[in-house]
Chains A and B, each alone.
Chain A
Amino acid sequence: MKHIPVQQLSTSEMAALVDREEHDFADMQQRHFKARAKMSLENESLRASFLGASNFLVGKRQAMFPDTQQLERLRDRGEAIRQHSLNHLPELLERLEKNLTANGIQVHWAETAEPACQLIHTILNDNHAKTVVKGKSMVTEEIELNHYLEQRGIECLESDMGEYLVQLAKETPSHIIMPAIHKNKAQIARLMHTRATNSDGSDVPYSEDVDELIGNARAILRDKFMTADAGISGVNMAVANSGTLCLVENEGNGRMTTTAPKLHIAVSGIEKVVEDFSQVPDLLTLLTRSATGQKITTYFNMISSPKKPGEKDGPEQVHLVLVDNGRSRMFSHDTLKPTLQCIRCGACMNHCPVYARIGGHAYGSTYPGPIGQVVTPQIGGIEKHGDMLSACSLNGACGEACPVRIPLPQLIRELRAEAVNPDVDHVSADSIRQVFNSVKGRGAKRTVAESLIWRGWSLLHRQPGLYRLMTQLLSRGRKLMPARLGAWTESRTMPQAAPHSLHELARKRGLASQPVPGDNLTETSK
């Protein structure tokens, strides 16, 4: 990995470098998907970071599943558990709400991002909370909660190490499990030295030693846990039968967030519910083994109520905000419904050859990689996020890695079809019958030129006369074909038509028509 020998840089030079990275990130996010992908491909240190991380995580996962049969059995079970939850989603959500409420946890529902943020803001306001520590939560990234709260004067500090670094850099996570995967040690050392401040106001000394870097961040964040008015966390699974919120983590920041402040607000997508604790262990083992190649994470945290009388610590109030934000629409689509089986392990992105090369930021969305390509256009609309659907070679690696067997390649293909579906989406939100089976922004990527080409292609293959004419024109006029064909030939040679078509060659050999399969009596040659 190449980087400037930082020891020779002054603090102000380092600060300039960090500012430059922030600027580059902001600049990149304003560009079109193709431009972002190109910029990422040209960034050598970024590519080294992603390749290193992908190889590392793929290897660790593989070591966790030495027995293929066992793995397949476990995946069957994971899939069945998730589908069971989806098959009974409304009933399970009601049961979850009922049991959480009985346990003293307050449940709220939000249809989209804005009302979800409003709800959370109201809870914070009611409790005069001005400072918030956050545990890792992708759904709060999805609804852009930090931005919303900060605009309203509430300090929101990410406490997962990776998320904390990304927030310091004023960037967004580039991986759902390892948010700062795109930065190397030297970049993080500069970031901590120039942007972080110790609680006593002093600067953080420059160091590339990981233990020291983590130690410095630990000291800063522990002071925040001590004083924060509220903690906001995600949820990995919500158990309906007992009314329990489960959080999976290694660092302890999730526990800090849900233990130290007086107020805990958990935020979850509506799909995270499971019926019973008996379904939790296998889902947990699939999650941790697929995500980071661990038999189990350091902490599995099961929260069923706020502090009870006599207990000496824990939050006095616990809230759960259930966020829909496009999920009920995914639920209504026959083919795309398995999107909601996702347990957010990140294995699909670790195994994706495109993700390994362009990295998470190129997608320009909260969720990158294959699951991001499936989730993002469905939440934000194809018109806005449809371009990322092209970043897939349909190689199938993601589908094979998915612990709950989401058929990701098929879903990407379905969304590509939806993107050019002639029934352009113009459905009002309250008309369920019409929303059924349609994706937001359906048909947004349909172009006249492309649909004409495909219509012509289809016609040519249905009319033998036309087809013969085309093959004749192509083979006779092969010398007249252009040597370049736009972007296609930038990294490929131009395909050339053969001097004679297959039909011509067959006729020459005296084959009148194709033999009918299974019919040995048909005379096809003289």
Chain B
Amino acid sequence: MSSRERILNALRSSQKISASAAASSTSAAMPELLSQSGSEMQPEALSEAVSEPGFDTLAPSQWRQTFIQNLQDNHAEVIEVTASQLADQLAQLLQHHKLGRCLIGSSDSGVALARQLPQLEVLERELSNDEWFRQVDAGVSFAAFGLAATGSLVLITGPQEPRRLSLVPPLHIVIIQQSRLLADFNQLVADDEWQTLFGRDGRDGRDGRDSWDDRADRAPATNVLLISGPSKTADIQQTLAYGAHGPKQLCVLLVTDEGGHHG
């Protein structure tokens, strides 16, 4: 018998013993903990009383302000721009930081931005570790979502958004559309786009089919990240220091809707 089988068997035996103990018990108030064990798994087994999230969901009118405030509290710089100002603003930022090599992913938006800004280099090939760690001064990413309640940027990495872009260079610049803001992580995981990212088909649960068992053809995104500030540590005498291992600075360009910007 393999370790796997021995571990699973041990767990199953305990479940059975608990279940039979629960069944033979005369006490009516046997804890739910035991009575459920060993039975077929119920998808909705989390009791309704606790299915509501612990925190209230922020109203959409508060999203922008809360998002900015949370990021600033976590030591990130936030600049609000309109779509037409974006390239100019980014150019200023790069100049201000006197950056040498600055990389951007090869998505359509990345390529379009690099066409306007020659100082941006589109990442078309794999770089060596030495290049990544020694030669790149900044990385520019696009966030797929923003979470207001925690000031989090949701990055979906992939061929056009390499993982190191948001990790290795000392300065990380993130571009996010205001229209992509959501209230919080709970709202994100309920979003259809998110469920697609993690291989769930949209019909799950509705036609009574367990889509997890034949999820098959769609693999989930390799690496998805919530980023809520620059890298930091308080491991030395609870004193906060930025730039522990990842970026020392995080700069967020929040692209507001043209004309719909209420300062």
| CB-based contact B198/A304 at 8 Å | yes
| CB-based contact A242/B198 at 8 Å | yes
| CB-based contact A252/B231 at 8 Å | yes
Q: How many residues of A contact B (CB 8 A)?
A: 111
| CB-based contact B162/A109 at 8 Å | no
**In the complex, A304→B197 CA distance in Å?**
10
**Interface of chain A: mostly helix, strand, loop or mixed:** helix
| CB-based contact B226/A250 at 8 Å | no
B125: interface (CB < 8 Å): yes
Q: With contacts A99-B212, A160-B235, A256-B246 known, is A432 near B222, CB below 8 A? A: no
Given the complex, which residues of B lie within 8 Å of A329, measured CB to CB? 10
Q: A286's closest neighbor in chain B, by CB?
A: B54
| Interface locus among B40-48, B79-87, B113-121, B254-262 | B40-48
**In the complex, A260→B46 CA distance in Å?**
38
For B231, give its contact among A89, A251, A314, A432 (CB under 8 Å).
Answer: A251
B216: interface (CB < 8 Å): yes
A253: interface (CB < 8 Å): yes
A422: interface (CB < 8 Å): no
B100: interface (CB < 8 Å): no
| CB-based contact B150/A296 at 8 Å | yes
Given the complex, which residues of A lie within 8 Å of B223, measured CB to CB? 259, 301-304, 314
B23: interface (CB < 8 Å): no
Given the complex, which residues of B lie within 8 Å of A215, measured CB to CB? 243
Q: With contacts A74-B54, A89-B11, A102-B215 known, is A244 near B220, CB below 8 A? A: yes
| CB-based contact A102/B244 at 8 Å | no
A526: interface (CB < 8 Å): no
Give the Cβ gap from A491 to chain B, nearest Cβ, in Å. Answer: 31
| Interface locus among A176-184, A356-364, A479-487 | A176-184
| CB-based contact B212/A332 at 8 Å | no
A420: interface (CB < 8 Å): no
Q: With contacts A84-B46, A179-B235, A278-B189 known, is A103 near B220, CB below 8 A? A: yes
Given the complex, which residues of A lie within 8 Å of B132, measured CB to CB? 226
B2: interface (CB < 8 Å): yes
Which of A250, A324, A435: most chain B Cβ within 10 A? A250
Give the Cβ gap from B29 to chain A, nearest Cβ, in Å. Answer: 14
Given the complex, which residues of A lie within 8 Å of B49, measured CB to CB? 76
| CB-based contact B149/A295 at 8 Å | yes
Mark out the residues of chain B between 211 and 231 whose CB falls within 8 Å of any chain A CB in the assembled complex: 212, 215-216, 219-231
| CB-based contact B231/A277 at 8 Å | no
Give the Cβ gap from B40 to chain A, nearest Cβ, in Å. Answer: 9
**In the complex, A119→B153 CA distance in Å?**
36
A227: interface (CB < 8 Å): yes
B123: interface (CB < 8 Å): yes
For B235, give its contact among A180, A282, A322 (CB under 8 Å).
Answer: A180
Q: With contacts A242-B200, A250-B232 known, is A313 near B163, CB below 8 A? A: yes
Given the complex, which residues of B lie within 8 Å of A299, measured CB to CB? 225-228, 231, 246
| CB-based contact A214/B222 at 8 Å | no
**In the complex, A504→B213 CA distance in Å?**
75
Q: A328's closest neighbor in chain B, by CB?
A: B10
| CB-based contact A87/B54 at 8 Å | no
Q: With contacts A87-B37, A305-B220 known, is A296 near B198, CB below 8 A? A: no
| CB-based contact A312/B126 at 8 Å | yes
| CB-based contact A303/B222 at 8 Å | yes
**In the complex, A524→B257 CA distance in Å?**
85
For A302, give its contact among B70, B133, B224, B247 (CB under 8 Å).
Answer: B224
Q: With contacts A284-B185, A300-B226, A313-B163 known, is A83 near B237, CB below 8 A? A: no
**In the complex, A279→B50 CA distance in Å?**
11
Give the Cβ gap from B182 to chain A, nearest Cβ, in Å. Answer: 11
List 6 A-B pairs, minimum CB-CB distance, nearest first.
Answer: A252-B246, A74-B54, A281-B185, A162-B235, A251-B244, A252-B245
Residue contacts A-B, CB under 8 angstroms, 23 given: A57-B238, A73-B52, A74-B54, A76-B50, A77-B53, A80-B46, A84-B46, A94-B8, A111-B3, A251-B245, A256-B246, A259-B163, A278-B190, A281-B186, A295-B150, A298-B232, A304-B221, A311-B158, A312-B123, A313-B162, A328-B10, A328-B14, A435-B10
Residues of A with Cβ closer than 8 Å to B? 49, 52-53, 56-57, 70-71, 73-74, 76-77, 80-81, 83-84, 86-91, 93-95, 99, 102-104, 109-111, 115, 159-162, 165, 178-180, 183-185, 188, 210-211, 213-215, 218, 221-223, 225-227, 239, 241-244, 250-253, 255-256, 259-260, 270, 277-282, 284-286, 292, 295-308, 310-314, 322, 324, 328-329, 331-332, 334, 337, 432-433, 435-436
